[in-house]
Amino acid sequence: MPKVIAMAGKGGTGKTTLSALLLKYLIQHQHTPVLAVDADSNANLNELLDKRVGITIGQVRKELKGDIPPNMSRDQYMEMKIHQALIEDSGYDLLVMGQPDGPGCYCAANQYLAMTMDHLADNYKYILVDNEAGMEHLSRMNLRSIDCLFVVSDPSARGILTARRIAELTKPLAIEIKRQVLVVNRAPEPLSEGLAAKIKETVEESLLPLGGILPASNELVEQEITGRSYLELADSVPVVAKAFDIFKQALGE
């Protein structure tokens, strides 16, 4: 079974940035192949990897509600379309969830998605999920356990509190979360006394240990503006080096 790593946090905290840097870490440390899943309806992980999206899972779901080609079962058709949706590259594949179906119940489509994810999982060493603010996609993908959940916060007292609440929301999920850590992203240097105190309070009063603090980075901004892949960033870039240290510790390496 592959190891599963997922991101959680409110919108705008940098979950996608952390996902791209983690993918870089996994590839460079030969933890491949990796299945990267962009489960945010506002998908943009592909942009940080300089990849163009063709078919999303949202589009596949819509097609599933229509006519199925003759001589194909519905689950065969779903599996075929999801394989077509895979964006393949050296060391990893990318799967984009895309927009939700809209109002109504699509339990059957989600069931086929879970079945297909089960089938895909055998092909990968790691599954990396860039999750949206909610946790629903993690259940829909039929992930029975998460080896490491990164709860990402912005550098504010409210952001830290929200991260703590999100971590508490994982408890009712029918998913075993083996380890979860807090990552404070885009933090000013030096860290203010107030923010440092709020982080310390959250860590001490919850089951959310501090994984690390990442600084704001002009290099990341420039990489995104120019449209270059985060995988091409030099290891010497300070935020990359600090992110790699966080990943190494969190993944027990």
Over the stretch 56-65, which tens digit does the pLDDT of each residue have?
887 887 887 7
Q: Which of 16, 21, 9 is nearest to 234 (CA)?
A: 21
pLDDT: is 131 or 228 the higher one? Answer: 228
Of 225 and 253, which is predicted with more confidence?
225
Compute the average pLDDT of residues 186-197: 91
- Which is more confident, 27 or 194? 27
118 vs 199, which has greater pLDDT? 199
Number of domains in the chain: 1
Q: What is the pLDDT of residues 27-57, one digit of tens each?
A: 999 999 999 998 877 779 999 999 999 888 8
The CATH code of the domain that includes 138 is 3.40.50.300
**Could you tell me where the DSSP H helices lie in 3-56?**
15-28, 45-48
Find the range with the poorest average confidence among 56-70, 182-196, 237-251: 56-70
Q: If we measure between CA atoms, which residue out of 107, 123, 85, 251 comes closest to residue 178?
A: 251
Query: Average model confidence (pLDDT) for the chain?
Result: 87
**Domain with 147 in it:** 3-250
**pLDDT, position 157:** 85
Cα separation values, 76 from 64, 181, 186, 210, Å? 11, 38, 44, 43
Please tell me the chain's helix, strand, coil percentages from 3-state DSSP, rounded to the nearest 5.
Answer: 45, 20, 40
Q: What is the pLDDT of residue 47?
A: 95
Please, which pLDDT band fits residue 140 given cuts at 50, 70 and 90? Answer: low
The proportion of the chain whose per-residue pLDDT surpasses 70, expressed as a percent, equals 89
pLDDT digits (tens, 9 = 90+) for 91-110: 999 998 876 555 544 455 55
Question: Tokens 């850590």 label which residue?
Answer: 181
pLDDT value for 60: 83
Tell me the range of 100-104, 129-133, 184-188 where mean pLDDT is highest. Answer: 184-188
Provide the whole-model pTM. Answer: 0.91
Q: Is the pLDDT of residue 178 over 90?
A: yes
Of residues 178 and 143, the one with the higher pLDDT is 178
